[in-house]
Structure 1
Amino acid sequence: MDAAAARRPDYTAILAAHRVRAGRQLRLVLAVGVVCIASLALTGFFDAQRFIEGAPAIAQLASEMVPPDFARWQHWLRPLLDTLAMSIAGTALAVILSLPLALLAAPNTTPHPVVYRAARTLLAALRSVPEIILGILFVAAVGFGALPGVLALACHSVGMVAKFYAEAIEHVDPKPIEAARAAGASPLQVITHAVLPQVLPQLADITIYRWEYHFRASAVLGIVGAGGIGFELMAALRLIKYDEVAAILLTILACVVVVDGIGAMLRRKLK
């Protein structure tokens, strides 16, 4: 009996540990809630007077957007194709640049801690600049068209995609890596034979998600002169044709749904 009692779990201690953990989680949730409420207050979200004063303008704008005007839908086909091409090219360029940076930014594949820290800092710097700002800079540098959009998407996405790639590489099983190194494999062989085979499905999943995001971002970049359907949207806004704006937005929504569906299908194929 004494041996059985010794093996019996100490439920009192387990419950006490759960209570402590639950208390910490509750305090964290409360702290996050306070921060969120304070942020809403600072941005004027609780200013009911502003909502009341803005309601007539919102109603007027909504009435001008209904019904949507699809009369120029044929003129949007080429810009939509440009937007799709921009998203694919931006994703491809981002992947090409992200993979080597991810290997440098992962602690188990980087050649040196200094290189690891430099790569992480570079990725953080790329993430900190929004695509639209990069789009403005590249439009000023290389002119209007899809090229500045592709460059803006790729540069910003490298910061995100390489970070996700590096985190996936960081959590691979270390045993194949150790076995490859013990067998005398070169660093490149270790990566190609022990690291990449473990993370390729995750990298593909991240890439597809990023492509879906790029299509939406490409539409926004057109507003700053990077071509695509966003350019048509900006033109309609400047001419105060809100019914045409509504039609373009609905067209973009339909395309986003199709792109998301294609991405979901590709992810299922990769599982």
Structure 2
Amino acid sequence: MNTQAAIPPRWRAPRWTVWATWAVFLAIFVQGVVAIKLTPERLLRGIGNLGDFLARAFPPDTGGLDAVAWAMLETLNIAIVGVSVGVVLSVPFALLAARNTTPHMLVRSTVRLVIATLRTIPDLIWALIFVVAVGLGPLAGVLAIVLDTIGFAARFFAERIEEVQPGPSEALASTGAGRLSVVMGAILPETFASMTATSLYSVEKAIRSAVTLGLVGAGGIGVELAASMRLFQYDRAFMIILVILVVVIAFEQVSASIRRRVI
């Protein structure tokens, strides 16, 4: 008796489609290698340039550490303010996008489309748009992270809300509680731990994003890093990279500790 489970029909495909898929993938891969001019000579030259960068970066320049610290603090401010506002706004988006809390399926489809759009557009593009809208500085970075967080967090919030067991909600509704009371009394408490974990992931993601956003003028330590690289001050740039590395790792450790206690 064959104990192996049969492959579901959706996983079966004619052999020619498998070969055709691999052929298309291989063609795109080869075209990509040619398009980016990936050659051994270029790689060897790149290794030499990297060695030159490292040689000029050591030892790191700690002379302007106070200015870098303030820029890093501004980056943390951008990330935390942006995520805080984004997470708060993500909750109503998620409630409208979840199947069991939306007032109408048309509303659900529309909101899910908005969330998908916010998630699809990279935060760097949002930053460029807001730099044009509100000018250079941290406000552009905050607004970019707000929209990026809504696209990221609202999706996971909505999925978690849809996974809530209907029992507590139905019991509360049977006592005459309104829709808002059911949401506040049964659904949100059930999803609190998951939402907290997602929010912490959002902060981790936003700190890394805030560094990148500074490269396009959205404030923070990215501005300092871009200026150092443009002026070929590699020792100062390397010191900035080390500061970013320490802060990101430290926050990830704190975030992981909080998640272990909450979940």
Structure 1 unmatched ranges of 5 or more: 1-10
Select which of 165, 169, 179 maps to 2:157: 165
* Corresponding position: 1:241 with 2:230: no
Report the secondary structure of 2:177's partner residue: coil
Select which of 99, 103, 122 maps to 2:91: 99
Select which of 21, 29, 32 maps to 1:43: 32
* Corresponding position: 1:194 with 2:186: yes
Letter in 1 for 2:65: W
Give the structure 2 partner of residue 154 of structure 1: 146
Report the secondary structure of 1:52's partner residue: helix
Q: Distance in 1 between matches of 2:24 and 2:244?
A: 35
- For the structure 1 residues 253 and 37, does the alpha-carbon distance in structure 2 shift closer, same or farther, using more than 3 Å as the test? farther
Letter in 2 for 1:158: I
- For the structure 1 residues 139 and 65, does the alpha-carbon distance in structure 2 shift closer, same or farther, using more than 3 Å as the test? same
Q: TM-score, normalised by structure 1?
A: 0.85
Q: Deviations over 1:165-219 (max 9, x none)?
A: 0011111112222222333221101111121111100000000111111111111
Using the TM superposition, name which of 32-41 and 185-194 deviates more: 32-41
Larger Cα-atom Rg:
1
Deviation at residue 242 of structure 1 after TM alignment: 1.3
Deviation at residue 47 of structure 1 after TM alignment: 3.9
Q: Distance in 1 between matches of 2:214 and 2:153?
A: 22
Q: Distance in 2 between matches of 1:221 and 1:175?
A: 45
Deviation at residue 39 of structure 1 after TM alignment: 5.5
Letter in 2 for 1:43: G
Letter in 2 for 1:215: I
Structural RMSD (CA): 2.7
Give the structure 1 partner of residue 220 of structure 2: 228
Structure 2 unmatched ranges of 5 or more: none
Using the TM superposition, name which of 210-219 and 171-180 deviates more: 171-180
Deviation at residue 63 of structure 1 after TM alignment: 2.2
Select which of 67, 84, 89 maps to 2:59: 67
Q: Distance in 1 between matches of 2:52 and 2:29?
A: 26
User: What are the residue-to-residue correspondences of 1:197-208 with 2, within 5 Å?
Assistant: 197-208=189-200
Deviation at residue 30 of structure 1 after TM alignment: 9.9
User: What are the residue-to-residue correspondences of 1:108-127 with 2, within 5 Å?
Assistant: 108-127=100-119
